[in-house]
Amino acid sequence: MADVILSVKSLKKYFEPHQGFAESIIGGGQKKKIKAVDDVSFDIKRGEIFGLIGESGSGKTTTGKLAMKLLEFKIRDVLEEPLIIHKIKASVEERNTMIVRALEEVKLTPPDDFMGRWPHMLSGGQRQRVATARTLILNPMMLVADEPVSMIDLSTRAEVLHMMKEVQKKLGLSYLYITHDLSTARYFTDRIAVMYLGRIVEIGLADDIIDNPLHPYTQALIEAVPEPESGKVKIIKELPIYGEIPSPADIPNGCRFHTRCPYAIEACKTEPEPELMLDGEEHYHACRRAHEVKEEKQKKSRVERS
């Protein structure tokens, strides 16, 4: 445990849903809690980049939000606020020195050109750099980055991720990197955890998860990634699974993925939900049919090639 910087054990976050008057009468006044995060556990090691992957509604953002909150002010105020909140006993001049150093760290130079601006005056990439500087100013051991490059263009996205990796290596930081983008996760992370409906269904080394996915949900996410070929990059693929993610207020019995899984059998619906099982070095999955499914897909692939 000496190298573990963040240990999350059986994390849960349930929300009470809003109910109108008519709904309260029809439902007898009973409310089903929304299980946004339902018994999630993982560790992040010192100096590691840890990815948290899943669809909208999977619970990944709520997991990150439990440890993160951002507010808007002028750029200088954005960077000074953490120093004030954490009662860093420094003069205005000393705080200015720390602000300048943080801006230089993320390559927003010269710093004086940026401190007096409002966030809306910056590009998407520059705002992401300010957000990174805001966290670095306290010399933290770990950062939570929730979709840090999702709203910026591809070229800037690569620049920001490269900058974040440089800072991580230089300062020995750990990241909790939350995203739905498997392509950036593979490039940026060391390990990946895939979430579905509030639980982790697969976790392992990034390359192993991408190259050798064992859970049908992970396989579906990877199959839906656009092909890096001319004319096909912007084609949006549909997930090769059925329907939509169920409500976290009404989680299915058995394996919670069985309602959408093309490989589900009766046991997946009636038997207890499988726990994470070790399969190879640091590779865990929660699918009782993982190897049967893999064999079925390999046979299908061989038939298609012949």
- pLDDT (tens digit per residue) in 241-257: 878 889 999 999 999 99
234 token code pair: 């912007």
pLDDT of residue 72: 39
Q: 0.85 cut: is pTM over it?
A: no
pLDDT of residue 298: 77
Q: How far apart are CA 177 and CA 185, in angstroms?
A: 8
Q: Are 54 and 180 in contact (CB under 8 A)?
A: yes
pLDDT of residue 2: 62
Q: How far apart are CA 29 and CA 289, in angstroms?
A: 40
Q: How far apart are CA 116 and CA 95, in angstroms?
A: 15
- pLDDT (tens digit per residue) in 62-110: 887 665 533 338 899 889 988 988 888 678 888 999 999 999 999 999 9
Q: How far apart are CA 176 and CA 44, in angstroms?
A: 8
30 token code pair: 């009973």
Q: How far apart are CA 283 and CA 49, in angstroms?
A: 16
pLDDT of residue 21: 45
pLDDT of residue 303: 77
- Strand order of the sheet with strand 49-53? 142-146, 174-179, 49-53, 191-196, 199-205, 284-285, 277-278
Q: How far apart are CA 81 and CA 3, in angstroms?
A: 30
Q: How far apart are CA 255 and CA 287, in angstroms?
A: 8
- pLDDT (tens digit per residue) in 127-140: 889 988 988 898 88
Helical ranges in the chain per DSSP H: 21-26, 60-65, 75-85, 92-105, 112-115, 124-136, 154-171, 182-188, 206-211, 216-223, 266-270, 290-305
- pLDDT (tens digit per residue) in 224-243: 776 655 555 455 555 668 78
Q: Which amino acid is at 255?
A: C
